[in-house]
Chain A
Amino acid sequence: MKITVPTADAVAEGVVGVVLVEPEEARILVSLSDQLQALLAEAIESPIDDDSAMRRLLPDAYPHDPELADEWRRLSRRGLVDRKIGFARTLSTALATVVGDGIARSVPLSMNAALDWVRGIGDLRLVIADRMGIVIDGDDGTFGEPGLRDVYDWLAWMQDGIVQVLEVAEPGDGNSA
């Protein structure tokens, strides 16, 4: 995988970054993103988060006030879950063609797509960290099955690379979301 700043022509068309993806990389990302979408879809069905990963993806906004916490969940949860599903879907939709073609492809990212990728990848890392049992800074996790740590670190590298192209596209400080 390689993440680069686009050519001037592509920038004019609204592209902020280009990700060169190998089919095997795309396959892993599509699989993870599909699992994340399924996990989030379950959260819509069940109002109680019995999965610790869900509690991290959708934290309590008022940990010390059950009444306000309930109200906030009622008003915000559905929208948040839908948007998070959307982030993951952007990833899997863009990468499904690379899996299908079976050859490396350059995937152009618009500003919105790049923001979806950054957040979708972040959510994937939160779930993987939970599955690995990472609870404190510098933690290697308790349940690290071989290879999972590599995927976790690879996702961090990918997220950082996309943040870097976003910083080129949105120079200076104070670009409010």
Chain B
Amino acid sequence: MAPALDELLDEQLIEQPVHAAEVPWTIVVWNDPVNLMTYVSWVFRRHFGVDAPAAERLMMQVHTEGRATLAHGNREHMERHVEAMHEYGLWATVEKAPR
């Protein structure tokens, strides 16, 4: 991970003036005791199109920290992701991105 670069990008994002209706939203996937780690990784690869190492990292984040943010964007897009996650049996919610 390269936190310095991430932080830089985050700062740039936050400094953009954002219209209230366009507040960025995120999709969060939560840990659950039922779904297998291999299954969760596969769902992340298949649905979000991330590569195997990224899927593994996100899955481990869900497993150890209890949650991970999988995507951000407008609310409509995030709701579509949540619906897909619920179809796969994953526990997912939509949240406002931290400002």
A residues engaging B (CB < 8 A)?
Answer: 56-64, 68, 72, 76, 79-80, 83-84, 87, 118-119, 122-123, 125-126, 129, 134-139, 156, 159-160, 163, 166-167, 170, 173-177
Contact = CB atoms under 8 A, between A and B. Distances in A.
Contacts of A61: 79, 82, 86, 92-94
Nearest to A56: B91
Contact of B87 (A63, A83, A163): A83
B91 to A, nearest CB: 5
- In the A-B complex, the 8 residue pairs with the smallest Cβ-Cβ separation, listed nearest first, are A122-B89, A174-B49, A129-B34, A173-B51, A177-B47, A137-B33, A176-B49, A61-B82
Nearest to B35: A122
B31 interface: yes
Interface of B: 31-36, 38-39, 42, 45-52, 55, 63, 79, 82-84, 86-89, 91-95
A119 B89 contact: yes
Contacts of B79: 61, 72, 76
| A interface: dominant SS | helix
Contacts of B39: 118, 122, 159-160, 163
B67 to A, nearest CB: 12
A126 B86 CA distance: 11
B93 A59 contact: yes
Given A119-B88, A126-B89, A173-B51, 20 more contacts: A57-B86, A57-B89, A61-B82, A62-B93, A63-B93, A68-B94, A79-B83, A80-B83, A83-B87, A87-B87, A119-B87, A123-B89, A138-B33, A160-B38, A173-B50, A173-B55, A174-B49, A175-B46, A175-B49, A177-B47
Contacts of A125: 34-35, 89
